[in-house]
Every structure is written in structure tokens, then in C-alpha cells.
Structure 1
């Protein structure tokens, strides 16, 4: 369960960064990182479920 909380915290931090980031390449990198975390979150849920 702590793993899910950690992943969600990291996802929220990226969402906050995206609001302030205007450079297209930096935004793309943040979205890729967010996507990786999202799939890690889903895999963790699947293992726990």
C-alpha cells in the first residue's frame, strides 16, 4: 500500500510541474515520466488486487 501512496505522490508532483512548464520538450519528458508512473501504479494495483 505504501508503494501506491509513493507512486501517487510522484504523479501529483509531475502534475504540479506540468502546470508551470511551457517548454514543449520538458513537457514531453514530464508526460513520459507520468505515463511510466501510471503503468507502474496499475501493475501495483494488479498485484495487490
Structure 2
């Protein structure tokens, strides 16, 4: 999610939307457990991001 360490918010949002378009079955992130069915989860979050 967008936070204080992101220097270019518009680029962050574009990048997140691009990641959501990938047909990923699993996402491994730096914090927390792996995310199964990553595409569905990323698309759900992308739908809530501001334009």
C-alpha cells in the first residue's frame, strides 16, 4: 500500500496496477506469508486505489 517511503506516488500506483495484471498464482513478499492466488488479491486491491 502507498506509504511514506514512496517518492513517486503516481508511479507506485501504475506499478501496482501492472503487477495486478500478471497472471500470478503465488506472490512472495518481503514481509508476511506468501500470497496464494495473487492475481485475485492484487486485482481486489488495485480496484480500491485512487485514479
TM-score strictly above 0.5: no
RCO (CA 8 Å, sep 6+): is it higher in 1 or 2?
Answer: 1
Please state which structure has a larger fraction of its residues in helix: 1
Tell me the TM-score normalised to structure 1 length: 0.41
Q: Specify which structure has the higher proportion of strand.
A: 2
